[in-house]
Amino acid sequence: MTALALAAGLFSGLIGAMGLGGGTVLMMYLALFTKTPQLTAQGINLLFFLPIGLLAVTRYAQKQTIRWKTVLPIAAGGLLGAVPGIFSATAFGGGVTAKIFGGFLIVLGIKEIVCKRKKT
């Protein structure tokens, strides 16, 4: 367990708990500093998030920040989408879909920074 691995875990947990996409940090660490195959890295990232997400949601729920009536239908749809998502990952191995999603994220990110909102 190197200091770098600890830092990757710490920052991934911090960013993930804030809903900022913590997976990005751990996946980057795994890709750059370990020889983990892509699908295993994805599995590590998913497992890693479970206690982090649980802790974060518990703390947010204590402050009544969680709107279950909105969260539950989205999560229900998410469960339906997750299964075909995982099976296509092994069938296509990333590739084009990952790039399309990458382009989409860049557009969303630019919007996020450029567009002012009344309610932040």
* Site residues (CB under 8 A) for other proteins, limited to 68-97: 68, 70-71, 73-86, 88-90, 94, 97
Distances (CA, A) of 43 to 48, 60, 74, 108: 8, 26, 22, 25
Nearest distance, CB of residue 9 and other proteins, angstroms: 3
Contact 22, 15 (CB under 8 A): yes
Nearest distance, CB of residue 69 and other proteins, angstroms: 9
For other proteins, what does the binding mask look like between residues 29 and 68, x meaning CB under 8 A?
-------x--xxxxxxxxxxxxxxxxxxx-xxx---xxxx
Asked if 21 interacts with other proteins (CB under 8 A), we say yes
Total residues in contact with other proteins, by rule CB under 8 A: 94
Tally of CA atoms within 13 A in the half-sphere of 5 that contains its CB: 6
Q: 59-85 in b/e burial notation, b at 16+ Cβ within 10 A?
A: eeeeeeeeeeeeeeeeeeeeeeeeeee
Nearest distance, CB of residue 52 and other proteins, angstroms: 4
Nearest distance, CB of residue 39 and other proteins, angstroms: 5
